[in-house]
Structure 1
Amino acid sequence: MTTRAEIEKMIAQTALRDHAAFSALYDATSGKLFGICLRVLNNRSEAEDVLQEVYLRIWHKADSYAVTGHSPMTWLITVARNLAIDRLRTRKAPSKDIETVFDVEDARPGPEAEAIASSERAQIETCMAELEPDRADAVRRAYLDGETYKDLAARYEVPLNTMRTWLRRSLQKLKECLTR
């Protein structure tokens, strides 16, 4: 087990471009840093690539490490974690250049379709008003709210077959009204 002081000494010597110290630092810390990369990326190949980037960063930035009383492993782990997260972010679907994206069609109805729908809605409301109030309510509950025929029969206190007849006749009246 390598001590904190030994790791700090290896980082300091790496800052002076000591290859032996850098090799010793790698041997002492690579297992832990690889575990960090693997946990973040969940992909062995990518974790190995990022680990290589981690040690390149350590080689180039070792002089920026400052002994602050914190464990030197905290600095090394932060470097590994940040690079792994950066790699994870690049995995996301790449954004496309605005010029290469085709025009996106608006799925909402246009003014003409809205006018037609509004007219049809008004016509349906007019036809529903021609039905007896309890029949119109039963049609709304059955076909808009999804209530069952059995529930409607219980609500209006009529036999199930009577409810079916109400609904069938109401739909026929609506159809006649809408085709006028």
Structure 2
Amino acid sequence: MDNEILLPLLVSTAQGSKRSFATLYEKTSGKLFAISLKMLGNRAQAEEALQDAYVKIWHNASEYQASKGQVMSWMISIVRYRSLDILRHNKVRREQSYESSGEGGFESHEGLESLTELSEGLAGIDVSYVENTKIVDCMGQLDEQQRQTIHLAYYKGLSHLELVKHVSSPLGTVKSWIRRGLQQLQRCLAI
């Protein structure tokens, strides 16, 4: 989405224009919903994340800084973080219900830690790359294990323990793949 179109709408939204906010919503909601739906895999939760994201956009429009990236990138990051919050919340609820059923559960909040690490690990990456093929090219340069674990953890929300089961590898190995993969992504995207 062109920044020349979105920036004036966001500036006007920051000044309280409901009409500009409605236009901003019309121009961006489809793409943002698709991102949230891909992350959450649940239409109702994606709609909830999108609604929460737009409330945050309305309230924080004046905090946008053009020097830090494109408007669409800023909005994508808000939707992405809200979607991650919902994933975390769902994991905690599942773990609590699993533990309360007497069947046992995870002994730590490894899932929350992995999502937090991934969010922080990718925080230095300019999300405007999501709008073109740069991220795809950089992901293609990763080892298969790194690419798979980052995809499963970052896009699908799997915890480290869930990844261990999914890829049948030790926890330390999975963490190393993610850490080295994120480092390589950051180097590649910085070029």
Instruction: Normalising by structure 2, report the TM-score.
Output: 0.48
CA distance in 1, matches of 2:68, 2:4: 10
Deviations 1:47-82 (A, max 9, x none): 011111010000000010011162211100000000
Quick one: distance in 2 between partners of 1:78 and 1:88? Answer: 15
**Aligned positions of 1:90-129 closer than 5 A:** 90-94=89-93
1:62 aligned onto 2:26: no
Distance across 2 between alignment mates of 1:24 and 1:58: 13
Query: Aligned partners of 2:48, 2:69: CA distance in 1, in Å?
Result: 27
Q: In the TM superposition, what whole-angstrom CA distance separates every residue of 1:110-136 from its partner, at most 9, and x where no partner exists?
A: xxxxxxxxxxxxxxxxxxxxxxxxxxx
Aligned residues: 99
Distance in 2 between the 1:93 and 1:65 partners? Answer: 31
Which is higher, the Rg of structure 1 or of structure 2? 1
Q: Deviations over 1:145-175 (max 9, x none)?
A: xxxxxxxxxxxxxxxxxxxxxxxxxxxxxxx
C-alpha RMSD of matched pairs (Å): 2.1
Q: What is aligned with 1:46?
A: 45
- Superposed, which structure 2 residues align to 1:1-180 within 5 Å? 3-68=2-67, 70-94=69-93
Identical columns (%): 35
Query: Aligned partners of 2:71 and 2:23: how far apart in 1?
Result: 14
- Where relative contact order (Cα < 8 A, 6+ residues apart) is larger, the structure is 2
Gaps in structure 2 of 5+ consecutive residues: 105-191
Q: TM-score, normalised by structure 1?
A: 0.51
Q: Unaligned 5+ residue runs, structure 1?
A: 105-180
Q: Deviations over 1:15-73 (max 9, x none)?
A: 11100000000000000100111011000011011111010000000010011162211
What is the alpha-carbon distance in structure 2 between the residues aligned to residue 69 and residue 10 of structure 1? 18
Cα offset, 1:93, TM superposition? 3.4
SS in 2 for 1:17: coil
